[in-house]
Copies of this chain bind each other. A is one copy, B any other.
Amino acid sequence: MTMMRLLFIFALAIFTIDNVSGQEKRSDMAKFTLVIHGGAGTILKKNMTAEKELAYRDKLKEALSAGYGILSKGGSSIDAVEAAIIIMEDSPLFNAGKGAVFTSEGKNEMDASIMDGKTLEAGSVAMVNTIKNPISAARAVMEQSPHVMMVGEGAVKFAKEQNLEIVDSSYFYDEKRYQQWQDFKGSIGTQMDHSDERADNTTEQINAEFNEPVDEKFGTVGAVAIDVNGNIAAGTSTGGMTNKMYGRVGDSPIIGAGTYANNKTCGVSSTGHGEYFMRAVVAYDISAIMEHKGVSLQEAADEVIHNKLIKLGGSGGIISVDSEGNFALTFNTEGMYRGSIREDGVPSVSIYKD
């Protein structure tokens, strides 16, 4: 028994030292991680011009840089996530904020959500049209309202009360997105049947049929970060699917599907065919697998994106960061606009499969 006790005390001491030094290490080195995405889909090099590719890479780097500026000064992961997403919302390159796609009625309807992994507080907006930065409205819902989700006119009214920037709906108008909707609208009978067809067709077939880049259907943006204090945050923002039915809401504003963050496990932001992500509760599932099974973030992400989601028929990807600052950028599509940056300040940006 005495031997056992000694062994136990020894083990406890090792465990304690290890934990303390682990924490100190993070603090001393001011470690942090930020990852972002600009959507997953059939992104093929053959459909991309050098100019367009450069534009995407530059904008992703700009978003990483915005978040890095905050995290490197000891700022919070929530601030970094919001800042990175705002850069992408303000760019017509992505299907969020300016550049959002058109619904079947020719409107823009945007959704966004954000979650704080320290408090498990969350906020989201859906079907908003005149809020310049939906991610900031989601944050206001989280921090300034007793609610988690606000939708439509009520959400816009709340955003106005919070003095968020409201713009005319023409602000979101993007010639390319509008033309894309016109092409789409002109080539179909009823939208619903067609959406079904598109979901069933391969993206290659659709691409050939409509002579347009199919990747435009995706293009949701998101960011996940862990700050120097070990707090994780995640956020997602989208304009939804081109020609979606009026009133359709996808996974981006849904806590557990599009966005999830928990300091104990990880933060996740999803992008892809939202209906499948909602049915599979993708973002929370990655956290739950880590928590319940004790596997790594990459193993959990692979299980959800490359196994469970594929079995269900869903395409897309996620970006995620765990409590140690490890990250996973995992997708089952041809490509995902993505990037990462750590305390060394060197941005890494990728588009296609490795």
Binding site for B on A (CB under 8 A): 115, 120-122, 126-127, 144-155, 157-158, 192, 195-196, 199, 244-250, 254-257, 260, 274-275, 278-281, 284-285, 288-289, 292-293, 312
Q: Is the interface of A mostly helix, strand, loop or mixed?
A: mixed
CB <8 Å contact, B285 and A149: no
A274 to B149, CA, bound (A): 10
Most buried by B among A149, A153, A192: A149
CB <8 Å contact, B150 and A249: yes
A195 to B145, CA, bound (A): 9
**Partner among B155, B158, B245, B257 whose Cβ is within 8 Å of the Cβ of A145:** B245
Copies of the polypeptide in the assembly: 2
CB <8 Å contact, B279 and A248: no
List residues of chain B with CB within 8 A of the CB of A247: 150-155, 157-158
8 contacts between A and B (CB under 8 A): A120-B280, A127-B152, A148-B250, A149-B254, A255-B278, A255-B279, A281-B281, A284-B285
Question: Which 4 A-B pairs have CB atoms at the shortest separation, nearest pair first?
Answer: A154-B247, A292-B292, A154-B246, A256-B281
List residues of chain B with CB within 8 A of the CB of A121: 279
List residues of chain B with CB within 8 A of the CB of A284: 256, 281, 284-285, 288
**Partner among B152, B278, B281 whose Cβ is within 8 Å of the Cβ of A151:** B152
Tell me how far the C-beta of A249 lies from the nearest C-beta in chain B, rounded to whole angstroms: 4
A148 to B155, CA, bound (A): 21
CB <8 Å contact, B146 and A127: no
List residues of chain B with CB within 8 A of the CB of A280: 120
Given contacts A148-B279, A278-B122, contact A154 B248 (CB under 8 A): yes
A280 to B127, CA, bound (A): 23
Given contacts A279-B120, A281-B256, A312-B120, contact A147 B288 (CB under 8 A): no
Tell me how far the C-beta of A279 lies from the nearest C-beta in chain B, rounded to whole angstroms: 5
Tell me how far the C-beta of A90 lies from the nearest C-beta in chain B, rounded to whole angstroms: 24
CB <8 Å contact, A255 and B257: yes
A196 to B285, CA, bound (A): 30
List residues of chain B with CB within 8 A of the CB of A312: 120
